[in-house]
């Protein structure tokens, strides 16, 4: 087992297992890993990577990631500790640094009587990751409430703001997925002046509904496949009899077939094999190829 080493001045870790940074609890070691908490730290880390000519990638809470068992070369910058937010009760504007947890923001907004994030309470990601993925549920999505994002360009390290209209949002997709920009913060426009008790009640009910209908207590990445609208990926997987099917420690959830759960020390390879099997069976039976919603890191086209 690799032992992580710390480089003190930048708090950089080497050989740090990424299974500790994904909700699936799988993934090999990062060659380098940083968890900045401030813009100054982030700038220093990026300057270090540029000086050493080391490529870097960004991860949020790792709740939509499948990371290869052999880990990731270069620098992985995890933004989940990049915290800070302002919620304006009067005009409904929220400005949150990229690492703010979506459920925390949803709960705080509800307490202030801000309507707009009630659907988001059960999504265990960061607001930065949600802006990239256009996270959504129950007919809403982050793009509906977005004003703008502040980003840093990976090549020139320039900071600038991009308006929602320029981000080409669609179902679980945005221009931010082209990976040349790091999201620093997100501005949302919610609706002020609502009854906080009512909004909190709806928020709590949404969370309870998820806990009852999804395998919420087991490690997963949420929905593995995009819904081929108007069809539902979960229903297609159920139709081919794969609910409960297991490879190694990975299992198609018996609660919701679009979830693959880490039942017992699964590896990324177990999960990837199960993903491929599902795709083959669904293609054979229904004639359509399911596309993954989850982002794979460290895989090649051959994997």
Ligand X SMILES: Cc1cc2nc3c(=O)[nH]c(=O)nc-3n(C[C@H](O)[C@H](O)[C@H](O)COP(=O)(O)OP(=O)(O)OC[C@H]3O[C@@H](n4cnc5c(N)ncnc54)[C@H](O)[C@@H]3O)c2cc1C
Tell me the residue nearest to ligand X as measured from the CB: 60
Q: Is 31 a catalytic residue?
A: no
Residue of 76, 148, 174, 223 with catalytic role: 223
The whole-angstrom separation of Cα 84 and Cα 197 is 25
Q: Does 124 bind ligand X (CB under 6 A)?
A: yes
Q: Is 257 in the site for ligand X (CB under 6 A)?
A: no
Which of 150/281 has CB closer to ligand X?
Answer: 150
Interface residue with ligand X among 27, 28, 92, 128 (CB under 6 A) is: 128
Nearer to ligand X, 42 or 192 (CB): 42
Residue 72 neighbours by CB under 8 Å, 6+ apart: 18, 27, 28, 29, 30, 31, 57, 297, 298
Rounded CA-CA distance 49/251 in Å is 38
Q: At 173, phi and psi to the nearest 5?
A: -145, 150
Question: Does the annotation mark 166 as catalytic?
Answer: no
Task: List the interface residues with ligand X, window 17-36 (CB under 6 A).
Answer: 23
Task: Pick one of 66, 94, 121, 135: the residue that binds ligand X (CB under 6 A).
Answer: 135
85 binds ligand X (CB under 6 A): no
Under the criterion CB under 6 A, does residue 126 sit at the interface with ligand X? Answer: yes
Cβ at position 143, least distance to ligand X in Å: 11
Q: Cα separation of 164 and 188, whole Å?
A: 10
| Reduced 3-state DSSP string for 65-126 | EEECCCCEEEEEEECCCCCCEEECCCCCEEEEECCCEHHHHHHHHHHCCCECCHHHCCCCCE
Paired sense of beta strands 140-141 and 136-137, if any: antiparallel
DSSP assignment of 211-239 equals HHHS-TTS---S-SB---TTS-HHHHHHH
Query: Which of the residues 172, 174, 220, 251 is marked catalytic?
Result: 172
**Counting contacts by CB under 6 A, is residue 58 touching ligand X?**
yes
Structure tokens at 300: 């090649």
- Determine, following the binding rule CB under 6 A, whether residue 113 of this chain makes contact with ligand X: no
Q: Nearer Cβ to ligand X, position 23 or 267? A: 23
Quick check: 121 binds ligand X (CB under 6 A)? no
Nearest approach, Cβ of 193 to ligand X (angstroms)? 27
Binding residue count for ligand X, defined by CB under 6 A: 31
Element at 148 (helix H, strand E): strand 146-153
Active site residue 293: yes
What are the backbone angles phi and psi of residue 53, rounded to the nearest 5°?
55, 45
Candidate ranges 53-61, 68-76, 106-114, 160-168; the one touching ligand X (CB under 6 A):
53-61
* Residues found near ligand X in the complex (CB under 6 A): 23, 57-65, 79, 98, 123-126, 128-130, 132-133, 135-137, 182-183, 216, 220-222, 295
What residues act catalytically? 172, 223, 293
């Amino acid at each position: 087992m690799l032992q992580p080493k710390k480089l003190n001045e930048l708090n950089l870790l080497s050989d740090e297992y990424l299974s500790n940074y994904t909700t699936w609890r799988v993934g090999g070691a990062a060659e380098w890993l940083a968890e900045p908490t401030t813009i100054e730290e982030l700038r220093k880390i990026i300057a270090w990577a540029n000086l050493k000519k080391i490529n870097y990638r960004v991860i949020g809470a790792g709740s939509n990631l499948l990371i290869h068992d052999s880990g990731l070369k270069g620098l992985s910058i995890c933004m989940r500790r990049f915290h800070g937010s302002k919620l304006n009760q009067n005009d409904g504007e929220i400005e949150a640094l990229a690492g703010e947890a979506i459920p925390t923001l949803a709960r705080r907004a509800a307490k202030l009587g801000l309507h707009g994030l009630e659907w988001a309470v059960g999504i265990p990601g960061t607001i930065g990751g949600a802006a990239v993925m256009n996270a959504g549920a129950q007919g809403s999505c982050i793009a509906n409430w977005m004003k703008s994002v502040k980003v840093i360009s990976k090549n020139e390290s320039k900071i600038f703001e991009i308006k929602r209209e320029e981000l080409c949002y669609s179902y679980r997709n945005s221009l931010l997925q082209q990976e040349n920009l790091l999201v620093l913060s997100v501005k949302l426009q919610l609706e002020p002046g609502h009854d906080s008790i009512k909004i909190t009640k709806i928020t709590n009910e949404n969370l309870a509904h998820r806990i009852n209908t999804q395998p919420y207590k087991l490690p997963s990445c949420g929905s593995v496949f995009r819904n081929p609208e108007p069809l539902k990926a979960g229903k297609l997987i159920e139709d081919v009899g794969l609910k409960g099917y297991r490879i190694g420690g990975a299992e198609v959830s018996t609660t919701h077939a679009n979830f693959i759960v880490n039942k017992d020390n699964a590896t990324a390879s177990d999960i990837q094999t199960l993903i491929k099997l599902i795709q083959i069976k669904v293609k054979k039976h229904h004639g359509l190829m399911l596309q993954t919603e989850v982002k794979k890191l460290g895989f090649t086209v051959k994997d």
